[in-house]
Amino acid sequence: MPVRTLDVNSDSKFPAILTNAARVSRTPCLTRSRGRFRTYDMSSESVAGEFPGEKLRVLIADDDSAIRISGRFLFEDEGWSVVEAKSPREALQQIEKNELDAALIDMNYARNTTGGREGLELISKIRAQDPDIPIVVMTAWGTIDLAIDAMKGGASDFVQKPWDNARVVQLVRAHAATCRAVRRSRVLEEENKVLRSPSGSENFVCQSAAMKRVIDVVDQVAPSRANILILGENGTGKGVVARLVHDRSRLSDGPFVSVNVGGLPESLFESEMFGHVKGAFTDAKSDRVGRFEMARGGTLFLDEIGNITLSQQNRLLRLLETGEFERVGSSRTMKVDVRIVSATNVDLKAAVRAGTFREDLFFRLNTVTVEIPPLRDRRDDIMPLAAYFIAQNAGKYKKRVSGLDDEARAAVMAYAWPGNVRELAHCVERAVLMCGGAVVSKRDLGLDESAEGSRNLDSLSLEEVEKVLIKKALDRSEGNVSKAASQLGMSRATFYRRLKELDK
């Protein structure tokens, strides 16, 4: 980028209130760097290109209405959005109310003042309110000392009234562009944190033999680039396992992008997945990056893959075969290197036989298949998961809840959990909120123990059946061991022995 010197002492003219500002998109702009004035070529095209479809926004703060009106005409003629303030208080109100790209403020507001004290105080307050916004100060009583004080106080630059239209526009434009670039980089940084943030897979709860077999498969296939199809009922944790695959792969430093493809409307599918260019359709006011492009060098998780239409399947297939696609509205072919992990609760083999799912797409997706068992088939995970969710929500809601009481534990183990891990997580979260003591009670859980909500005894192991029956007998006898043993046809000694064995 060329650096040129600008004569800041050239003659300037007071901006005419009703005259159009000169077009200055190709002239150099003034900025300040390490105590020296430098100029950079900041054309209007470069600024607009960074933020297509968005107007730059500037605050003009001055007690002189002629200055404010003149500034409004000047910047609005450049396509900017302008807000005004006639006092420091109004300036702060405007900054609180609007996201601005620059502030052009006077240094003196009270009548017969020339010291710039009000302006210096305003700079300090603006900086406290919005650290990003560039502040360009203006004064008819400009001195080097005042300019230095303003810059030390947080101003980005200064101009002396009367100003030169072209210079003011380019000066403010340069700082506004820098402000937007800083904000944009911050947004990208936050997006990057979301994409790369730890998934909690290091806290993956797995005690049952069934889930340990799943993890063994993940450990085997994760380091490869093979596409993986995850099968399981709703709420079993398919998304968690997909993230685990990514975290244990060689792509873990790349992005993990998740999209519920089954929930994308037909009209938005291509735009969401492949992106679009400005003007591709009515609402396409700027270029947009699609999910495949966003996941470049990482993992793309396609959730609910079994619910997409045949038309959507056709569009996906080409990309999976070649890695190539075009953004909507563009003829330029792009290529991405992405690992695909997909998931569904649909029987895809049956869907292929029925003709509702393409067989070639099915083979592309399931180089390796991972099946996650429902929670009812991995009962050894129920209590560890419940304990994990209790600790998680106790911290979240600042409550001193440490576990479940005996009655709540029995209810949790006897329940069917048709919604699997997701239902357990929601149930425990509610229980922690409702809990009035240190441990969660059965009442806090709010479980539906109807025939639809509770587990059949024939789905329980013998040990679990004994636990449920002994607990019910104790409840009916109000804790009287002799009565409970009698109800179960046991001697008191046998009852105690079974209690001791079941508590181990």
> Which pLDDT tens digit goes with each residue over 84-128?
999 999 999 888 888 789 999 988 887 767 778 888 999 999 988
Q: What is the pLDDT of residue 227?
A: 93
The amino acid sitting at 67 is I
d(CA 257, CA 306): 18
Buried b (16+ CB within 10 A) or exposed e, 312-325: bbeebeebbeeeeb
Burial of 361 (0-12, 13-18, 19+ CB in 10 A): buried
Residues ≥6 apart with Cβ < 8 Å to 323: 335, 336, 337, 338
Reading the block at residue 181, the tokens are 């670039």
Residue with tokens 């998780």: 301
Q: What is the pLDDT of residue 48?
A: 37
Residue with tokens 């024939």: 458
Cβ atoms within 10 Å, residue 426:
13
How far is residue 473 CA from its own chain's centroid? 50
State which fold the 376-502 domain adopts: Helicase, Ruva Protein; domain 3 (1.10.8)
Reading the block at residue 113, the tokens are 């003042």
Closest to 254 in 3D by CA, of 282, 285, 293: 293
How far is residue 487 CA from its own chain's centroid? 57
d(CA 443, CA 434): 9
Torsion of CA 344, 348, 352, 356, to 10 degrees: -30
Q: State yes or no: pLDDT of 201 exceeds 60.
A: no
Q: What is the pLDDT of residue 14?
A: 34
CATH architecture of structural domain 3-190: 3-Layer(aba) Sandwich (3.40)
Percent of the chain with pLDDT over 90: 33
Torsion of CA 462, 466, 468, 472, to 10 degrees: 150
Q: What is the pLDDT of residue 41?
A: 34
Angle at 60 between CA 56 and CA 64, to 5 degrees: 155
Q: What is the pLDDT of residue 329?
A: 86
Categorize the per-residue pLDDT at 35 as very low, low, confident or very high, splitting at 50, 70 and 90.
Answer: very low
Q: Which region among 100-109, 349-358, 364-373, 466-475 has the lowest average model confidence (pLDDT)? A: 466-475
State which fold the 203-373 domain adopts: Rossmann fold (3.40.50)
Q: State yes or no: pLDDT of 177 exceeds 50.
A: yes
Categorize the per-residue pLDDT at 241 as very low, low, confident or very high, splitting at 50, 70 and 90.
Answer: very high
d(CA 34, CA 407): 70
- For the chain, give the mean pLDDT: 79
Q: Summarize pLDDT for 359-410 with one digit per residue, the tens.
A: 999 999 999 999 999 998 898 999 999 999 999 999 888 888 889 999 999 9
Q: State yes or no: pLDDT of 138 exceeds 90.
A: no
Domains 3-190 and 376-502 share a fold: no
Q: What is the pLDDT of residue 368?
A: 93
Angle at 273 between CA 269 and CA 274, to 5 degrees: 110
The DSSP code for 453 is T
pTM above 0.75, yes or no: no
Closest to 362 in 3D by CA, of 404, 327, 317: 317
Q: State yes or no: pLDDT of 136 exceeds 70.
A: yes
Reading the block at residue 389, the tokens are 């969710």
Q: What is the pLDDT of residue 502?
A: 64
Q: Which region among 24-38, 75-89, 207-221 has the lowest average model confidence (pLDDT)? A: 24-38
Closest to 126 in 3D by CA, of 160, 169, 88: 88
Q: At what angle do helices 382-396 and 420-434 cross, to 10 degrees?
A: 50
Say which residue, 265 or 11, is predicted with more confidence: 265
Average pLDDT value for residue range 132-147: 79
Q: Summarize pLDDT for 283-309 with one digit per residue, the tens.
A: 777 777 888 888 888 999 999 999 999
Residue pair 464/379 in contact by the 8 Å Cβ criterion: yes
d(CA 426, CA 346): 24
d(CA 115, CA 457): 87
For the ranges 54-58, 281-285, 287-291, 314-318, the one whose mean pLDDT is highest: 314-318
Provide the residue ranges of all domains of the chain, joining segments of one domain with +.
Answer: 3-190, 203-373, 376-502
Q: State yes or no: pLDDT of 208 exceeds 80.
A: yes
Residue pair 105/129 in contact by the 8 Å Cβ criterion: no
Q: State yes or no: pLDDT of 471 exceeds 90.
A: no
**Between β-strands 29-33 and 36-40, what pairing exists: parallel, antiparallel or unpaired?**
antiparallel
Average pLDDT value for residue range 159-173: 87
For the ranges 1-10, 325-334, 455-464, the one whose mean pLDDT is highest: 325-334
The DSSP code for 356 is S
Q: What is the pLDDT of residue 404?
A: 92
Q: What is the pLDDT of residue 16?
A: 34
Q: State yes or no: pLDDT of 448 exceeds 80.
A: no
